[in-house]
Chains A and B, each alone.
Chain A
Amino acid sequence: MTSRSYVAGAALSAIGFALLVVAHYLGLFVAPREAMMGDVGRILYVHVPTAWGALLFYLGAFVAAIGSLWSGRRGWDAATTAMVEVGTVMTFLLLVQGSLWARPTWGTYWTWDPRLTTSAVLAAAFGVVLLLRRLIDQPARRATATAVATIVAFVDVPIVYFSVKWWNSLHQPVSSRQTIDSPMMQPLLIAAVAVLLLGIGLSVLRWRVELARLLAEEAAPDLPDAPAPLDLSGASGAPRG
């Protein structure tokens, strides 16, 4: 099981990475310049797939968290962690790319835009899930806490999005076939597939590590009991001082 999943994870990551190189070659050198934004617009080919990927892996983590809570099995717990981690990495990348894109086009690194703000809230909410996980030693309690916090954080996604949307919005509408011309569509789709494969590959690899860690933790002998604190009050219970 382990070696096959390792090969699968490594192969998917490698294919994803190779496709990413192809997509960016097409995006940077072949695709036409964006009419309004010029070459800056080419960041689209990495930004939009990252956004799709982040949401998709949070969705995957949400499903895995329900599975973990339902079945109590380690595999689901490890999968939840793996996908929350991949999603969080993508969200942080998304924020960096978005800021870099926003500066030349909107004139600011940061604004009250629904998708921008939602991404920041997501990065915080899911980042804390990973932190929470590190701080709990007992395996069953840790699995429950991870699953529950992931579910609660994911449910927040649409609420944050719509609440911020009612404030002012600056972001261009969601990119789709209708808003993107076909010569730009090809590198975008290749990049999307590349990010998806890379994400799945990394998730599988991360899942293996987490599962191995959980199994090792279970196999390890318990720590010896802490020594009893020194009794300085005297065995006879005589009053101190």
Chain B
Amino acid sequence: MSEVEVPAPLPRPAQPGLGSVLVGVFGGVLAVIRKDLLVEWRARAQVVALLGFAVVVLLLFSFAVGPDSMALARHAGGYLWLALLLSSTLLLARSMQNEVESGALEGLLLVPVPAASIFYGKALANTVLLVLVALVALPVDLAITGAAIVSPGVAVAVVVLGAAGVAAPGTFYAALTARVAGRQLLLPLLLFPLIVPALLGAVKATTLAMTGDPMGQVPSWLTLLLAFDLIYWSLCGLLFEKVVEA
């Protein structure tokens, strides 16, 4: 019942060719995703608490704005992303805290895969969890504000790209601050200014998915999100090794 599932050791030939290196990298990424999601599943009360937090934040926004249904519907996209952003720091900090406590990170680093695959595994797991939070928060947001999704395809794309945009720098900064005193404050302080562009793009595109897009602006905001994701998924993957080695 309480048996810990250890991912199978990865093969490491004496002279690794390109193929086996790729298998090792992707295998490592998949193993870390599986491990992180399994940890979250085993502690699912925490995930439920996180979902509850996002919902409560949404409720607070609607109370703060008051019963003005026009204003609520107009800003529904903004509320959704602020709720996601505030929940994300809790999620990201915990995902890295799990590694640092009891020295799990040292164990992970001993696995013969590049440190970058640990980063990509954790960032992808965090993306999945953030999308899950969004899937719960979005219906609540729509119910509270009275907004409706006009183009579901755009909404899905924004949620995935936006979650990825928060997860990559978020996982990276969570690793950077995991052992620093005052990390609960430092993580959002580092993360929030950085992801202003992603937030702008996500809020704009979500609002357009709710109100319709007569001017055809959605593609440029999605492109902005995609560019942000590409830049930070590459840069953070590149620098992650330095951060965990220090």
B181–A69 touching, CB < 8 Å: no
The 8 Å CB contact of A167, one of B186, B200, B245, is B200
> Can you name the residue of chain B whose Cβ is closest to the Cβ of A143?
B246
The 8 Å CB contact of A164, one of B193, B200, B236, B246, is B200
Asked if B179 lies at the interface with its beta carbon under 8 angstroms from chain A, I say yes
The 8 Å CB contact of B228, one of A125, A136, A159, A167, is A159
- A182–B246 Cα gap in the complex (Å)? 53
- Minimum CB–CB distance from B173 to chain A (whole Å) comes to 8
- A202–B169 Cα gap in the complex (Å)? 32
Query: What sequence of 0s and 1s flags, for each residue 162-177 of chain A, a beta carbon within 8 Å of any chain B beta carbon?
Result: 1110110000000000
- A69–B190 Cα gap in the complex (Å)? 19
- A141–B179 Cα gap in the complex (Å)? 10
Chain B residues, CB < 8 A from A132: 176-177, 180, 186, 190
- Minimum CB–CB distance from B181 to chain A (whole Å) comes to 6
A163–B239 touching, CB < 8 Å: no
- A155–B231 Cα gap in the complex (Å)? 9
The 8 Å CB contact of A163, one of B189, B200, B246, is B200
Chain B residues, CB < 8 A from A140: 246
With known contacts A121-B196, A159-B197, A163-B197, A152–B235 Cβ distance under 8 A: yes
- Minimum CB–CB distance from B109 to chain A (whole Å) comes to 15
Query: What sequence of 0s and 1s flags, for each residue 127-156 of chain A, a beta carbon within 8 Å of any chain B beta carbon?
Result: 010011001100011011101110111011
Asked if B227 lies at the interface with its beta carbon under 8 angstroms from chain A, I say yes
Interface residues of A in 84-132 (CB under 8 A from B): 117, 121, 124-125, 128, 131-132
Chain B residues, CB < 8 A from A160: 196-197
- Minimum CB–CB distance from B222 to chain A (whole Å) comes to 12
A148–B176 touching, CB < 8 Å: yes
Chain B residues, CB < 8 A from A164: 196-197, 200
With known contacts A132-B190, A166-B220, A144–B246 Cβ distance under 8 A: yes
Asked if B224 lies at the interface with its beta carbon under 8 angstroms from chain A, I say yes
Chain A residues, CB < 8 A from B173: 149
Chain B residues, CB < 8 A from A136: 180
The 8 Å CB contact of A131, one of B176, B189, B231, is B189
Interface residues contributed by chain B, number (CB under 8 Å): 33
Chain A residues, CB < 8 A from B228: 159
Asked if B107 lies at the interface with its beta carbon under 8 angstroms from chain A, I say no
A153–B194 touching, CB < 8 Å: yes
- A211–B172 Cα gap in the complex (Å)? 28
A135–B182 touching, CB < 8 Å: yes
- A117–B245 Cα gap in the complex (Å)? 35
- A106–B156 Cα gap in the complex (Å)? 39
Asked if B24 lies at the interface with its beta carbon under 8 angstroms from chain A, I say no
- A144–B240 Cα gap in the complex (Å)? 11
- A145–B186 Cα gap in the complex (Å)? 12
- Minimum CB–CB distance from A58 to chain B (whole Å) comes to 14
- A164–B204 Cα gap in the complex (Å)? 11
B224–A152 touching, CB < 8 Å: no
> Can you name the residue of chain B whose Cβ is closest to the Cβ of A159?
B197
Chain B residues, CB < 8 A from A145: 176, 180, 243, 246
B193–A124 touching, CB < 8 Å: yes
Chain B residues, CB < 8 A from A69: 239, 242
A144–B231 touching, CB < 8 Å: no
With known contacts A141-B246, A159-B231, A152–B169 Cβ distance under 8 A: yes
Chain B residues, CB < 8 A from A117: 196
- A152–B238 Cα gap in the complex (Å)? 11
The 8 Å CB contact of A149, one of B176, B196, B201, is B176
- A166–B215 Cα gap in the complex (Å)? 14
- A135–B185 Cα gap in the complex (Å)? 11
A-B contact pairs, 27 of them (CB 8 A): A69-B239, A125-B194, A128-B189, A128-B190, A128-B193, A132-B177, A132-B186, A135-B182, A135-B186, A140-B246, A141-B179, A145-B176, A148-B242, A149-B173, A151-B235, A152-B169, A152-B232, A153-B193, A155-B232, A156-B193, A156-B194, A156-B196, A159-B228, A159-B231, A160-B196, A162-B224, A166-B224
Give 13 new A-B contacts, CB below 8 A, not counting A144-B246, A152-B172, A153-B194.
A69-B242, A125-B194, A132-B177, A135-B180, A144-B242, A148-B239, A151-B235, A151-B239, A152-B194, A155-B235, A162-B197, A163-B201, A166-B221
10 closest A-B pairs (Cβ-Cβ)? Answer: A163-B197, A144-B246, A124-B193, A125-B193, A141-B246, A159-B197, A128-B189, A163-B200, A121-B193, A135-B180
